[in-house]
Amino acid sequence: MSIHKSAGKLRKQFRTFLQLVTVILAAVILSSLFFRIDLTAEKRYTLSGYSKRVLKNLHDVVFIRVYLEGDLNIAFLKMQRSVREMLDEFRIYGKDNLQYMFINPFESNDAQIRKDMFNELYEKGLKPVNILSSDKEGGSSEKIIFPGAVITYRGVEVPVNLLQNNPQLSAEENINNSLQLLEFELIKIISSRTKDNTEKVAFVEGHGELDEYQTEDISKEIAWFYQVDRGRIQGKPGVLDSYKAVIIAKPVLRFSEQDKYVLDQYLMKGGRILWFLDRVDVSADSLAMGSTIAMINDLNLDDMLFRYGVRVNPVLVKDLQCNIIPVNVALAGNTPDFRPSPWYYFPLLSSPSAHPITRNLNMIKSEFVNTIDTIGARKGTMKTVLLRTSVYSTFSVAPALISLDEIKLKPNPDEFRSTGMPVAVLLEGTFESVFRNRMVNDIIPGAANELIQMSKPSKMLVVADGDIIRNDVRVTPQGIFSLPLGFDRYTQQTYGNKDFIMNALHYITGNEELIKLRSREITLRLLNKVKIKDEKIFWILINTVLPGLIVIISGIIYNFLRKRKYSTFI
């Protein structure tokens, strides 16, 4: 009997040992494997292949300071949680080379320290936002937060504004759009900072283009990703060949045939061009006196653009969806009384949500806009309209009289029937040289032997408004200061000009995997407020009483079955 007991004991100990060894082996094997399962319909917790490659190839520590901490409302707590989850995903692939921390910038009780922190974050490029904060007594107060982050890599700090603040959308929609673009906003900075080679972008000069101050803000933004140069073409073939893209920002003087040849052959070699053109010249100084004549501006580019597939029309758009300007409504001789009034020549342009360049983009601020026609006969080129006027727009053919007295007139809706006129067009594909079948030796000696007549696959952006890329400049006794691109001094709003230009630049320079991250879509599942009100008591009971009842009933059933099972052995 004792022998049987001893053998049974040994078998029991062996089974226990075997189970322990199995658990240890399974733990060792599983620890070397990695997999994650995203059960959400829109795969919101799944990083793109591009993001994974960027994070796996980090050569040094990327440190991210997120300023979303402290007393936040529910919407920003949701954003904070999503940012934390995204950064946890980043750490899985970046490992120790991806570090982050959340910071409350206003946790100090010292008012001066909080003020210094506000100024520091603002100077770094983070945008403050006012939110309503509720207190324990049921009241509310305004509070400033910085929904953004600062990414540091090898001593260089880059700001990232995480909130897409479109005044046309609700707070829930803005937060949701921000979460959709979260991966894009973070990865575009990390990828640009960690690149081994920096590509170059050039601003073309020599034709009265916008100067350094008028393009300062967009130049600074581009400089986070590319080396930025400025210079004249001077009819030198090949002078642009080392640049990934060139920007032509609101020229006012005619292009020579030599400069056109250099641009054309740059495009034929696969170069990328962003055109910001005004075909109509409006004198702001004359208009400030009451009225002016808008004249056609001949840039000598019509034949080039027509050959590439578009035509910029010498017209001025008037749109009921427009910006405002301050106008003196006081009678002559009285104290000036400036009031904001809609100015139909300053349209607020809308964009399609389907294209990754313009997805979830704020409206675009523009001034004295022309329109674009696409030439369907040009084969091998795909044309995509990126910016349009509203459904309530019209145009005047230049030369045209423009008067501030138009503000006093009540608009006639029947006159604003030109729906969705194109203002910005993206061209992709192959292009035919404008110098094909021409005597180019008369333009540049010996050029005929090197002329490329059909381009490699390339891309260009044509915008029929040079002011879209121009930031306002303020001259003070302390110096010249450039305001943020897209910022409107009268409404205190920042429109989507900078994002539009940067997205387009990334897209046409070949960063398509990066720009596709803008196509991520997270469905906004809002609660039905009517049902919440009508069925409030029912759902409160379901969520509070029902779980307790389930536990009690389960306990009663368990005790009943236990008594029934063991009572048979008595």
Domain boundary assignment for the chain: 49-192, 200-508, 531-557
Give 373's pLDDT tier (boundaries 50, 70, 90). Answer: very high
Using the Cα atoms of residue 341, residue 345, residue 346 and residue 348 in order, give the sign of their dihedral. Answer: positive
What is the C-alpha separation between 212 and 218, in angstroms, rounded? 10
pTM of the full structure: 0.78
pLDDT at 560: 82
More confident residue, 3 or 492: 492
The predicted pLDDT at position 447 comes to: 82
CA 93 to chain centre: 25
What pLDDT band is residue 475 in, cutting at 50, 70 and 90? confident
Lowest mean pLDDT among 36-40, 201-205, 348-352: 36-40
For the cut 60, the answer to whether the pLDDT of residue 523 exceeds it is no
Banded pLDDT at 37 (limits 50, 70, 90): low
**Both tokens assigned to 6:** 């001893």
What is the maximal distance between C-alpha atoms in the chain?
123
- 46 vs 510, higher pLDDT: 510
C-beta separation of 210 from 466 below 8 A: yes
Burial group, residue 143, by CB count within 10 angstroms (0-12, 13-18, 19+): middle
Q: What whole-number percentage of the chain has pLDDT above 90?
A: 41
| The pLDDT of residue 201 is above 90 | yes
Phi/psi for 532 (5° steps) reads -60, -40
SS3 for 332-373, per residue?
Answer: CCCCCCEEEEEEEEEEEEECCCCCCCCCCCCCEECCCCCEEE
* 243-296 pLDDT, tens digit each: 999 999 999 999 999 999 999 999 999 999 999 999 999 988 888 888 899 999
Residue whose C-alpha is closest to residue 405's, from 295, 329, 333: 329
Lowest mean pLDDT, pick from 29-33, 172-176, 266-270, 343-347 = 29-33
In 3D, which of 206, 240, 253, 257 has the Cα closest to residue 445?
A: 257
pLDDT classification of 134: cutoffs 50, 70, 90: low
pLDDT for 271: 95
Dihedral in degrees, nearest 10, Cα atoms 397, 399, 401, 407: 40
What is the Cα–Cα distance from 485 to 364, expressed in whole angstroms? 11
**What is the arithmetic mean of pLDDT over 462-474?**
95
Mean pLDDT for the stretch of residues 98-107:
90
pLDDT for 40: 59
Among 338, 352, 343, residue whose Cα is nearest residue 322: 343
On whether the CB atoms of residues 265 and 289 are closer than 8 A, the answer is no
For residue 141, the model assigns a pLDDT of: 63
Q: Are 107 and 70 in contact (CB under 8 A)?
A: yes
pLDDT of the residue at 261: 95
Highest mean pLDDT among 10-14, 151-155, 250-254, 542-546: 250-254
The CATH class, in words, for 200-508 is alpha beta
Mean per-residue pLDDT, 88-107:
90
Contacts (Cβ under 8 Å, ≥6 apart) of 79? 68, 147, 162, 163, 175, 178, 179
pLDDT of residue 61: 92
Pairing, β 148-153 against β 364-365: unpaired
pLDDT at 11: 72
What local confidence, expressed as pLDDT, does residue 3 receive? 57
Per-residue model confidence (pLDDT) at position 383: 93
Per-residue pLDDT band for 6 (boundaries 50, 70, 90) equals: low
pLDDT of 162 reads 86
* CA distance to 192, 431, 455, per residue, from 450 (Å): 35, 17, 13
- Give the pLDDT confidence score for residue 204 in this predicted structure: 96
Distance, CA of 350 to CA of 30 (rounded, Å)? 51
* Element holding 515 (H helix, E strand): helix 512-515
Helix axes 171-180, 182-193, angle to 10 degrees: 40
For residue 205, give the 3-state DSSP assignment.
strand
What's the whole-number average pLDDT of the chain?
85
Specify the pLDDT at position 326. 84
Q: What whole-number distance in Å separates Cα of residue 554 and Cα of residue 500?
A: 59
Q: Residue 124: its pLDDT value, please? A: 86
Mean pLDDT of 45-70: 87
> What does the alpha-carbon distance between residue 284 and residue 322 come to, in Å, rounded to a whole number?
18
The fraction of the chain above a pLDDT of 70, given in percent, is 88
Tell me how far apart the alpha carbons of residues 64 and 190 are, in angstroms, rounded to a whole number: 10
pLDDT band, residue 25 (cuts 50/70/90): confident
Q: pLDDT tens digit string along 212-243? A: 999 999 999 999 889 999 999 999 999 999 99
For the stretch 367-399, what's the b/e string if a residue is b when 16 or more beta carbons lie within 10 angstroms of its beta carbon? bbbbbbebeeebeebebbbbbbbbebbbbeebe
pLDDT at 547 over 80: yes
- 49-192 fold: Glutaredoxin (3.40.30)
**pLDDT, greater one: 395 or 524:** 395
Examine the pLDDT at 1 and tell me if it is beyond 60: no
pLDDT digit string (tens) for 397-444? 999 999 888 888 888 888 888 888 999 999 999 999 999 988 888 888
- Judge contact between 233 and 211, C-beta under 8 A: no
CA distance 431 to 308: 6
Rounded Cα distance, 217 and 126, in Å:
14
User: Cα-Cα-Cα-Cα dihedral of 145, 147, 150, 151, to 10°?
Assistant: 160
Mean pLDDT for the stretch of residues 114-120: 87
